[in-house]
Structure 1
Amino acid sequence: MKLSAVSSFLLPLLAAAAEPTPFGVMSSHSASPVHLLPMNAAGQKFWLGGETSSYCPISSGCPDGKYTVFAAGGGALDVVVPGGQQVYVDEDGALSFTQAHSAYIPPGSSLGPFEHKPGKPFGYYSFNGWGATGFMACPTEDSRWQVFAAIHNATVPQGNVNDCIGFSALAVPSNATAGAWQYA
């Protein structure tokens, strides 16, 4: 049931304050296949649908890693790994994040500006670089939707940017100490 999936995503992330804090993202586009899907980090990209991919090298004391959590401001992920994991838009327009233990960002990528506006119960998260109007979700072969900056010249998985769906990225405050040790 869609409502229980939304509840299981929201309950661990809700916090009382509206000041900048770490946050998760849920898509909003009524009457579309991407409505109310959580944004997940996996394979150095972001997806609507599917599962978050995380890793922890220690046997105990690891953050949950089940949900993707952005650091306050949205320019990085909320992780424990030394050096952190930065968020960027690659030259094809895909919302991406750096590999753990590496600050490498491919040439031609954009570091923003990302905008996080906290709110109760939801805030908003967006990318405003390259003339983008936020984010769009593009269909893939495996039933997930890959997240891209909403730009007309994005190189999308199935080749046609007109198949993508623009969505509002609802920022859901997180009360976790960290989202994951690292996202993979």
Structure 2
Amino acid sequence: MKFSLVPSFLLPLWAAAAPAAPATPENPSFSVMSTRSGSPIHFLPMNAAGQKFWLGGETTSYCPISEGCPPGNQTVFGPGGYGLNVMVPGGQQVYVDPNGALSFTQAHSAYIPQGSAIGPFSYQPGQNWGYYIFSGWGASGFMACPTEDNRWQVFAAVQNATVPKGNVAECLGFNALANTADSSPAAWQYI
């Protein structure tokens, strides 16, 4: 058996250069909605904003072209959930930062902070909905943590996350229901 090592400084470039998996019925593009009965995060959409992910709030996007811009008002993950479904050359990769926050790369950049996890993420089909899962670092999926401005930031469900209010016990684990989306880009880029 032969092993090859990739220097850690090349991993973000290598991952960003990897082609996205094609959308198929078993591995579609998808949006995410949280479920946790009886909680303030039940049925909230997951939105990309400020290079992080939030439950509720608004998706933030940008398009530099005058015609042909996708709507950009809904956050859509590409097949497998390793990146966002965008038009921008090079795409935007999804990762978990060293503090445990679910994050995405800036457009035109493959920079991911050292100590981040670039997976494993997975889309698992279900009866009516699929599921979006992060299983790195021994996580059991995702959790939403309250912020000072009354939003819920998405983190990997790990006990050592550095959360906005400093207390992981205030975070709520949730099921990330994945709803199949159109395979065409949902935004030029998310910001």
Shift of 1:120: 4.1
Superposed, 1:83-162 pairs within 5 Å as 83-162=90-169
Corresponding position: 1:169 with 2:176: yes
Shift of 1:177: 1.0
Shift of 1:118: 2.4
Contact preservation (8 Å) 1:18, 1:120: no
Give CA-to-partner distance per residue, 1:57-110, whole Å, 9 cap, x none: 011110110000000000000000000000000000000000000000000000
Code of the aligned partner of 2:49: A
**Bigger Rg over Cα:** 2
Shift of 1:119: 3.1
Shift of 1:175: 1.6
Superposed, 1:33-72 pairs within 5 Å as 33-72=40-79
Aligned length: 168
Code of the aligned partner of 2:66: S
Show the counterpart of 2:84: 77
What secondary structure sits across from 2:81 in the alignment? coil
Extract unaligned runs of 5+ from structure 1: 1-16
What secondary structure sits across from 1:130 in the alignment? helix
- Give me the whole-angstrom Cα distance separating, in 2, the residues matched to 1:127 and 1:103: 20
Code of the aligned partner of 1:65: G
What secondary structure sits across from 1:73 in the alignment? helix
Moved over 2 A (4+): 118-121
Extract unaligned runs of 5+ from structure 2: 1-23
Contact preservation (8 Å) 2:28, 2:183: no
